Amino acid sequence: MFENEQRTELGTLGEFGLIQHIASHFKPKRSDTVAGIGDDAAVIQSENRLVLLCTDHMLEGVHFDLSFHPLKHLGYKAVVSCVSDICAMNGKPGQILVNLGTSNRFSLEAIEELYAGIQLACERYGVDLVGGDTSASQRGLMINVTCYGSAKTETITYRKGAKPNDLLVVTGDVGGAYMGLQILEREKKVFLEHPEMQPDLERFDYIVGRQLKPEARVDVIAQLEELKIVPTSMIDVSDGIASELHQLGAHGKVGFNVYENKLPIDPQTVDIALEFGLNPSIAALNGGEDYELLFTVDQGHFDLIKNLPDMTIIGHATEEIGKYNLITATGNSFEIKAQGWEHFKHLSE
């Protein structure tokens, strides 16, 4: 594999392109590997159980900005982001491992703050921290979390599996974490230009909270189990609904119609989007890091789902493979493009 003398910039592939490119060279060979690269978590057969494994990293200057992400929140969020991937397989988290790289800009007390957040998340989600590594970094802070969990053969849910006419459901509300980030970045800029001005974040408490301290929807997984609903496909909303929709569509070989007036958007998200001159639906579709769950269920579950306060049916799967339409209140249809986070395009060394 891999022999040539070209230079191809990573930005031309983007993160998803790179992962796909890598995955094409790594087909699983072991009989106990049930699912490899390409879903929210890897799936490994262990006697009668399915083991779930996923790993996520957060790098300073790329995934977070320490001028407005407090270390404690950061530790919490790093765990949430990984636990959320286990939820997205309809699984339950069990243990985590944390690797930390830190320059000596950070004191022991700062690292303790970070671990206090990790500890809080461990308690909240009932997981044990069981290992990891710490080392120096030349510059900046990097946090790597691996989560181990399990799922049942009968109820594990992949990104693939959506069928035409399945209902498309999202939990909670979306777009808030993204607008929260816009607020934090704006207030940082104001502060840098006018250090005497203290930021007043109270008016933005909900969306700033969505950005700084998101939650993984273990409650939704428990609720689905109780209702005996097994989604046909599922993913967590880390890159934005638009991007996740493309994943469910590509894996399930379906298309989707999404109804704009069904998108669950918090009033604060709407207000701030408008203040920024943004269409709130765009924030809801393309904003990432809400860590809600996006899934499809058979139409037969309509009556069960429709009255659940924390789940919203926002559309349905179609037979038109690769077509993702946003249908407005007036019946117009727009193509939903996957934008998500494309890290590689913005950074330089």
- Footprint (CB under 8 A) of a second copy, residues 162-221: none
Does residue 66 interact with a second copy by CB under 8 A? Answer: no
Residues between 284 and 343 that touch a second copy (CB under 8 A): 343
Does residue 153 interact with a second copy by CB under 8 A? Answer: no
Residue placing its CB nearer to a second copy in the complex, 41 or 207: 41
Does residue 70 interact with a second copy by CB under 8 A? Answer: no
User: What region does 228 belong to: left with phi over 0, alpha with psi -120 to 50, or beta?
Assistant: left
The nearest distance, CB 74 to a second copy, in angstroms, is: 14
DSSP structure class, residue 20: H
Does residue 347 interact with a second copy by CB under 8 A? Answer: yes
The nearest distance, CB 181 to a second copy, in angstroms, is: 17
**CA separation for the pair 128, 61 (Å, rounded):** 28
Cβ partners under 8 Å of residue 335, min gap 6? 323, 324, 325, 326
3-class secondary structure, 87: helix
Block residue for tokens 């991007």: 243
CA distances (Å), origin 7, targets 3, 271, 332: 12, 45, 43
Residue placing its CB nearer to a second copy in the complex, 1 or 329: 1
**CA separation for the pair 55, 49 (Å, rounded):** 20
Does residue 87 interact with a second copy by CB under 8 A? Answer: no
Does residue 78 interact with a second copy by CB under 8 A? Answer: no
Residue placing its CB nearer to a second copy in the complex, 47 or 202: 47
Does residue 6 interact with a second copy by CB under 8 A? Answer: yes
Select from 103, 153, 165, 279 the one that contacts a second copy (CB under 8 A). 103
The nearest distance, CB 118 to a second copy, in angstroms, is: 8
**CA separation for the pair 269, 291 (Å, rounded):** 16
| C-alpha closest to that of 228 among 127, 167, 300, 173 | 300
**CA separation for the pair 125, 51 (Å, rounded):** 18
The nearest distance, CB 148 to a second copy, in angstroms, is: 6
Residue placing its CB nearer to a second copy in the complex, 49 or 203: 49
**CA separation for the pair 3, 311 (Å, rounded):** 49
Residues between 111 and 150 that touch a second copy (CB under 8 A): 111-113, 115-116, 119, 122, 126-140, 142, 144, 146, 148, 150
Does residue 41 interact with a second copy by CB under 8 A? Answer: yes
Residues between 8 and 37 that touch a second copy (CB under 8 A): 8-13, 15, 18-19, 21-22, 25-26, 28-30, 32-33, 35-37
Does residue 47 interact with a second copy by CB under 8 A? Answer: yes
The nearest distance, CB 186 to a second copy, in angstroms, is: 22
Select from 64, 68, 76, 106 the one that contacts a second copy (CB under 8 A). 106
Does residue 49 interact with a second copy by CB under 8 A? Answer: yes
On whether the CB atoms of residues 158 and 270 are closer than 8 A, the answer is no
CA distances (Å), origin 29, targets 25, 36, 37, 42: 12, 10, 13, 14
Q: How many chain residues are in contact with a second copy, going by CB under 8 A?
A: 91
Block residue for tokens 């594990």: 156
Does residue 154 interact with a second copy by CB under 8 A? Answer: no
Burial of 24-53, coded b for 16+ CB within 10 Å and e otherwise, reads eeeeeeeeeebbeeebbbbbbeeeeebbbe
Select from 1, 195, 329, 331 the one that contacts a second copy (CB under 8 A). 1
